[in-house]
Amino acid sequence: MAQPINFVYGIHGVLLVETLHLFPMITLNVVDALAKIDPALEEAAESVGARYIAGSANEAAALGVILIVVATLSLVLINRIAGARMGGMFG
C-alpha cells in the first residue's frame, strides 16, 4: 500500500467515533431493563421453560440503537449542512 487509508477524516470516521461515543446508551438501557425484571416473573417463566430476560433486554437494546442512530445522524447532518456553507469537513 503506497498511501495510508484516509478513514478517520471522512464520513465513515465520524460515524465510527460517534457510534462508539454514544454506545453506553445501549448499555444503560439494557442494565436498567434487567434491573427492573420482577424475580417472580423470571421464576414463573423458568417453570414453563421460557426465558423472560430476552424480551426485556431486546426491547432495551432496540431503544438504545434507535437513540444512537438518531443522535449520530443528527450530528452528521448538521455538519453536512453547516459544512457546505462554511467549507467544512463534508462541504
List pLDDT tens digits, range 34-70: 888 888 887 888 888 877 666 777 888 888 888 888 8
What does the alpha-carbon distance between residue 63 and residue 25 come to, in Å, rounded to a whole number?
Answer: 9
For 18-33, write each residue's pLDDT tens digit. Answer: 778 888 888 888 888 8
Residue 91 in this model has a pLDDT that exceeds 50: no
Q: Which three cell numbers stand for residue 38?
A: 420482577
Q: Which three cell numbers stand for residue 34?
A: 434487567
For 51-64, give one letter per residue: b (16+ CB within 10 A) or e: eeeeebbeebeeeb
Residue 9 in this model has a pLDDT that exceeds 80: no
Q: What is the dihedral of CA 82, 83, 84, 85, to 10 degrees?
A: 60
